[in-house]
């Protein structure tokens, strides 16, 4: 029934609107709810779509979807960044979550100051935390941080490397060098074996991507075997280390604290860094159970001059190229050098972090070692590095092993 003129209170247009809304009230309510539902659905869909897009675009779209899903947490993805400098060969990419924490990051380091700093820091934090399987040229520095050093014979050179290469080429007896690119992949949230396996696959995949991008020209790294993970090394009784890469700790003279100890073997074929660790396992007046007694380490490549192995040596290892790379010996560590298939190689022997320690007991006063004791420490360390280096020479295509000179015996005992 139409409203009478007496019931109409507004203009004709307003009355028409009221008439229309009265007749279509149900439809308006339905439409309003439809809009609300669409807004809710749109918001709920937006975040997964953003996740999919960021995962698809991160690191040039080269991250394998399945492996990325394994290493990321349940947090939404937030943003991605990528850069590449063709002149220097420097590449960087990072995928972050909604809290601005890195899910995965990949960075390359050509020879120069930045690489020296990174390798110096890695070398000072007791590498390797784990060695890599399948002959991969690298190591795991800490859980979730993988360093790979693939060959890069045709890659770009930094300004520093160019100057050094020109200087070496000018020398009559310059030795051809195997150039490598350092690629660091970091996945902070990995813990389980499945996550570590995915991390390793991602690291190898991205290393092959960036070496191709930089025009390295070397062979791609082989994909890890199914389920392969970084290996922290086998811990075996000292006697069982005989004949292994850690034979020097099984057959040589060792302090009494380690005679019935165990040896951790963390050396892999093709590895960049390897370590043999002699540990105490029995109660002994001069050692705690599980304490590191002796460390043997092999180093491949040019690490620069800044490595303080395990962060506690009084002097850096002489690891630079040319005259700076030379044998050395103190009562703290011994260092030998060689050439292995075009690469510089170094072998180190040093005492463990807590051995020898004369002021371990609370309240006791530090007593420095006598000259005779310092001489004996140097003798033992030279024996270790000599045996370790000679064994590694037999196992690989290595030449020109240079050992530190024998220490001079003190004229009289103190």
End-to-end CA distance of the chain: 124
Confidence (pLDDT) at 155: 72
pLDDT of 287 > 70? The answer is: no
pLDDT digits (tens, 9 = 90+) for 351-376: 987 676 654 555 667 778 889 989 99
pLDDT digits (tens, 9 = 90+) for 225-270: 999 999 999 999 999 999 999 999 999 999 888 888 999 999 988 8
Confidence (pLDDT) at 7: 52
Of residues 88, 109, 83, 107, the one with CA closest to residue 162: 88
pLDDT digits (tens, 9 = 90+) for 73-107: 888 898 999 999 988 889 999 999 989 999 999 99
If pLDDT is split at 50, 70 and 90, which confidence band does 45 have? very low
Confidence (pLDDT) at 89: 84
> By CB neighbour count within 10 A (0-12 exposed, 13-18 middle, 19+ buried), where does 248 fall?
buried
Give the helix/strand (H/E) hosting 68.
helix 65-71
Q: Quick one: average pLDDT of 187-201?
A: 94
User: Could you tell me where the DSSP H helices lie in 178-219?
Assistant: 193-213
51-55, 67-71, 303-307, 326-330: segment of lowest average pLDDT: 303-307
DSSP 127: S
Q: What is this structure's pTM?
A: 0.81
Q: 3-class DSSP state for residue 346?
A: strand
Average pLDDT, the chain: 82
If pLDDT is split at 50, 70 and 90, which confidence band does 114 have? confident
Confidence (pLDDT) at 172: 45
Give the C-alpha separation, 203 to 144, whole Å.
10
Confidence (pLDDT) at 111: 80
Q: What is the CA radius of gyration of the chain?
A: 31
pLDDT digits (tens, 9 = 90+) for 386-398: 999 999 888 877 8
Confidence (pLDDT) at 29: 57
Give the C-alpha separation, 314 to 333, whole Å.
10
Cα angle for residues 126, 128, 131 (degrees, 5° grid): 170
pLDDT digits (tens, 9 = 90+) for 131-180: 999 999 999 988 899 999 999 887 766 556 666 666 665 654 455 567 88
pLDDT digits (tens, 9 = 90+) for 212-228: 999 888 899 999 999 99
pLDDT of 1 > 50? The answer is: no
Q: Quick one: average pLDDT of 272-284?
A: 83
Of residues 238, 227, 153, the one with CA closest to residue 195: 227
User: Could you tell me where the DSSP H helices lie in 124-186?
Assistant: 159-170
Confidence (pLDDT) at 284: 57
If pLDDT is split at 50, 70 and 90, which confidence band does 124 have? confident
Cα–Cα distance list, 99 to 77, 78, 80, 255, 362 (Å): 9, 7, 13, 51, 45
If pLDDT is split at 50, 70 and 90, which confidence band does 318 have? confident
Confidence (pLDDT) at 171: 58
Q: 3-class DSSP state for residue 336?
A: strand
Give the C-alpha separation, 97 to 73, whole Å.
9
């Amino acid at each position: 029934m139409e409203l009478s003129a007496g019931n109409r209170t507004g203009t004709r247009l307003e009355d028409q609107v009221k008439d229309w809304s009265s007749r279509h009230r149900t439809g308006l309510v339905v439409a309003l709810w439809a809009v609300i539902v669409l807004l809710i659905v749109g918001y709920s869909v937006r975040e997964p779509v953003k996740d999919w897009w960021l995962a698809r675009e991160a690191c040039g779209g080269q991250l394998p979807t399945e492996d990325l899903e394994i290493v990321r947490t349940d947090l939404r993805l937030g943003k991605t960044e990528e850069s590449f400098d063709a002149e220097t060969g420097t590449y960087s990419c990072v995928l972050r979550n909604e809290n601005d924490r890195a899910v995965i990051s990949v960075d390359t380091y050509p020879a120069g100051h930045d690489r020296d700093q990174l390798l110096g820091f890695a070398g000072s934090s007791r590498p390797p935390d784990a060695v890599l399987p399948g002959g991969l040229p690298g190591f795991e520095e800490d859980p979730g941080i993988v360093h790979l050093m693939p060959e890069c014979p045709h890659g770009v050179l930094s300004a520093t490397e160019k100057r050094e290469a020109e200087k070496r080429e000018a020398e009559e007896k310059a030795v051809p060098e195997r150039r490598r690119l350092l690629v660091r992949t970091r996945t902070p949230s990995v813990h389980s074996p499945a996550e570590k396996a995915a991390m390793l696959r991602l690291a190898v995949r991205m290393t092959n991507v960036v070496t191709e991008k930089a025009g390295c020209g070397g062979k791609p790294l082989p994909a890890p075997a199914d389920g392969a993970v970084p290996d922290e090394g086998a811990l075996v009784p000292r006697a069982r280390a005989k004949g292994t890469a850690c034979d020097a700790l099984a057959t040589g003279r060792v302090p009494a604290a380690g005679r019935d100890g165990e040896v951790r073997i963390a050396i892999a074929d093709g590895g960049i860094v390897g370590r043999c660790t002699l540990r105490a396992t029995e109660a002994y007046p001069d050692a705690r159970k599980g304490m590191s007694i002796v460390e043997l380490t092999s180093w491949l490549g040019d690490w620069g001059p800044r490595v303080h192995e395990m962060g506690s040596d009084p002097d850096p290892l002489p690891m630079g190229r040319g005259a700076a790379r030379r044998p050395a010996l103190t009562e703290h560590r011994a260092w030998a050098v060689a050439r292995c298939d075009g690469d510089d190689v170094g072998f180190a022997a040093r005492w463990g972090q807590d051995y020898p320690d004369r002021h371990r007991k609370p309240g006791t006063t530090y007593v420095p070692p006598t000259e005779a004791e310092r001489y004996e420490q140097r003798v033992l360390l030279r024996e270790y590095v000599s045996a370790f280096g000679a064994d590694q020479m037999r196992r690989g295509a290595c030449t020109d092993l240079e050992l530190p000179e024998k220490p001079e015996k003190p004229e009289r005992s103190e």
